[in-house]
Chains A and B, each alone.
Chain A
Amino acid sequence: MVSRDAGASRRALFGAAGSALAAVGGLSLAGCGSATARKVAPPPPAVAARDIELLAAALELERRTVAAYVAGMPLLSRPLRRVARQYLSEELEHTGELISLTRSVGGHATPRADSYRLGHPTEPAGVLALLHELESAQLATYLRIIPQLSPGRVRAAASTILTVDAQHVALLRLQQGQDPVPSAFVTGAE
């Protein structure tokens, strides 16, 4: 789902179809591309190859985080489980968006791994710590790759994922009894 705050400009650039489908359909549908994304002229091959590589790194982390939400949810209290389910849906939307972006620059998403090493948390605090760690790793990755992504539209699209992961981190920190917004500049190290 695209934020209700979102203006028409972004829709004009990418369309929302792919992302919405990904969010509703779960993992198996996460790869459905945005129809309008394909209308955009692809960047030069060298730029596209670098972008595809950078987007693949972000996609791998998003998938790992999805796996952690799925595995960790049963260990959470009922109210937290409801929240985690929503965040999971948003993470799925991110994977769909990244796959659409990869296609828009002429690439194909790498296949999803069969399993991920996530440690062995056995209680809610452990799950929250794991989710916090993974979401923070995503922030650090987006902050590293966004300046390197070459077409502005891909950069801006990646930033719309960064903002949501930053919100997840703030709210996970709050749930862990920490300051939700400890810095004026998000780095992923918080």
Chain B
Amino acid sequence: MTTSDSAPCGLPRRTRRQLLRGVAGGAATAALTAGGMPQALYGQGTPIALAAPAGSIAEIDRLQRLIRVELLLEYCYRHVLTGSILTARSSRTIAPFLGQVQAQVAALVRQLAARGGLMPAGPTSVDQANRLLGHRRVGGRLGQLRGDKDALRLLLSTEQVVIGAYFVALLKLEQPALLELCAQIMAASSQHDAILRLLLSKRDRLAAAAPYGLVQGLQ
């Protein structure tokens, strides 16, 4: 057995853990590049590490937090949009938001994978989602929404939780590209917030859609 730093074939030697991570990462990357977010990644914490240099634990932890909250938001959008609770106007207006949230999750997952992080699990049932909503102090529960306004309010509160998560991320993260991505998503989430407010408003609608001078969401 060689004792040098290089493997017999000239490749750098790796520990057993690094090799396992590399295999899992390769599979995940293939799945991600094959076409967006495979459902399998939404299940139990799935290792999607790459052989790329690992990110700091703090970065990985923050990305996992962001992905968790985005997965909850995605679950809520999907639940509300697949039900018959929204009016046609609301449904038509917010339908594109689901795809946008999925694109945001995919971007974060790519960042997490590049840092060797473990994919966090998103909610897989209404009960799970409701527990997470309660934990984040969002009013309203999936399955108990009484109409269009109820559903829009729940989505609005969840978007605010997402905005708050990015606010904290911008406070804590340091890597410029990651900061830019977070700022871009935070801004898009605040636009979702405005459109949801617009749908909820009665009079003076445009003013009601952006009622505050500074928005940092809910923490």
Residues of A bordering B, CB below 8 Å? 1-7, 9-10, 19, 23, 79-80, 82-83, 86-87, 89-90, 93-94, 97, 139, 142-143, 146-148, 152-153, 155-156, 159-171, 174-175, 179-181, 183-187
Contact = CB atoms under 8 A, between A and B. Distances in A.
A185 B207 contact: no
B216 A19 contact: no
Nearest to A153: B171
A119 B194 CA distance: 29
A181 B96 contact: yes
B176 A148 contact: yes
Contacts of B192: 181
Contacts of B193: 167
Given A94-B213, A142-B183, A171 B206 contact: yes
Contact of A147 (B99, B176, B186): B176
Interface string B70-82: 0000000000000
A152 B55 CA distance: 19
Contacts of B217: 3, 5-6, 163
Contacts of B211: 86
Contacts of B97: 181
B69 interface: no
27 contacts: A3-B216, A5-B215, A5-B216, A6-B216, A7-B219, A19-B214, A23-B213, A80-B206, A143-B183, A146-B179, A147-B176, A152-B170, A152-B171, A153-B171, A160-B167, A160-B214, A163-B216, A164-B212, A166-B187, A166-B191, A167-B191, A167-B210, A171-B209, A183-B188, A184-B101, A184-B107, A184-B188
B185 interface: yes
Interface residues of B, number: 51
B146 interface: no
Given A93-B213, A160-B216, A180-B195, 20 more contacts: A1-B213, A2-B216, A3-B216, A5-B163, A7-B164, A79-B204, A80-B206, A152-B171, A152-B172, A153-B171, A159-B167, A159-B170, A163-B215, A163-B217, A164-B214, A167-B209, A167-B215, A168-B210, A171-B206, A181-B100
Contacts of A87: 210
* Residue of A2, A7, A171 contacting most chain B CB atoms (<10 Å): A171
Interface majority SS (helix, strand, loop, mixed), chain A: helix
B214 A3 contact: yes
List the 6 closest pairs (A to B, CB-CB), nearest first. Answer: A93-B213, A186-B187, A163-B190, A184-B100, A166-B187, A3-B212
B210 A171 contact: yes
A168 B183 CA distance: 16
Contacts of A175: 206
Interface in B63-103: 96-97, 99-101, 103
Contacts of A166: 187-188, 190-191
A163 B187 contact: yes
B187 A82 contact: no
B180 interface: yes
A156 B207 contact: no
Nearest to A142: B183
Nearest to B161: A5
B198 interface: yes
Contacts of A90: 210, 212-213
Contacts of A10: 167, 216
B160 interface: yes
Nearest to A92: B213
Given A147-B176, A167-B193, A160 B215 contact: yes
Contacts of B167: 10, 156, 159-160
B206 A83 contact: yes
